[in-house]
Amino acid sequence: MMKTIKLLALFVLIALLATGCASSLLNGEEDDTCETTKISDSAAPASATVPSYNDEAVTDAFVTEAAVEAPVLKNINFDFDQHVLTEAARIILDENARYLQVHSDANVVIAGYCDERGSDEYNLALGERRAVAAQNYLISMGISPQRISIISYGEENPIDPASNEDAWALNRRDEFTPQF
């Protein structure tokens, strides 16, 4: 999953670099649209802040293709044998919903996971209930249902393969993968 995201990000970066500074011909004249200016180190602000998608100062006009390059959708975790969203999960889902509102061209795949305890069938069903819970929350935040797909992997693909409470807590999750 992470390898696919890295490959997608690499592809977008290469595409941006390949098209970003191209000269174009308009009416027989060369239009050099990409100029670079070197800013001396003394001219740079001491601590410049870079706005992210969840800063209120960011508007749709500010968002560029570079922002799409590294999507920031966070995973959520669940309590043992539960598919009810915790308060911490709702806060993360609010951030994910804002990202999807700003990036209206992005769809999302929500993958539900469980820890290793329980049968394969039970964990697949629980993973699906977890993904559906997140899907319903995003829909309630105004994200179109057509932009959201779900899948359950049950206990497959654990983040931490250890058999202890810390590992199990990490593995009880929903992962969000943007699709452009």
Which carries the bigger pLDDT value, residue 59 or residue 143? 143
Distance CA 88, CA 90 (A): 5
Q: How confident is the model at residue 71 (pLDDT cuts 50, 70, 90)?
A: low
Q: Does pTM surpass 0.75?
A: no
Q: How confident is the model at residue 36 (pLDDT cuts 50, 70, 90)?
A: very low
**74-180: CATH class:** alpha beta
Distance CA 112, CA 40 (A): 49
Stretch 106-119: mean pLDDT, rounded?
A: 96
| b/e burial code for range 13-24 (CB count within 10 A of at least 16 → b) | eeeeeeeeeeee
What are the sequence ranges of the domains in the chain?
A: 74-180
Q: How confident is the model at residue 40 (pLDDT cuts 50, 70, 90)?
A: very low
**Least confident piece of the model among 4-8, 57-61, 111-115, 143-147:** 57-61
Distance CA 21, CA 65 (A): 14
In this structure, are residues 90 and 83 in contact, taking their beta carbons and an 8 Å threshold? no
Distance CA 103, CA 88 (A): 23
Which carries the bigger pLDDT value, residue 36 or residue 80? 80
Q: What is the mean pLDDT of the chain?
A: 77
Distance CA 100, CA 144 (A): 10
Q: What is the 3-state secondary structure (H, E, C) of the chain?
A: CHHHHHHHHHHHHHHHHHHHCCCEEECCEEECCCCCCCCCCCCCCCCCCCCCCCCCCCCCCCCCHHHHHCCCCCCEECCCCCCCCCHHHHHHHHHHHHHHHHCCCCEEEEEEECCCCCCHHHHHHHHHHHHHHHHHHHHHCCCCHHHEEEEEEECCCCCCCCCCHHHHHHHCEEEEEEEC
Stretch 138-150: mean pLDDT, rounded?
A: 97
- What are the beta bridge partners of residue 112? 152, 174
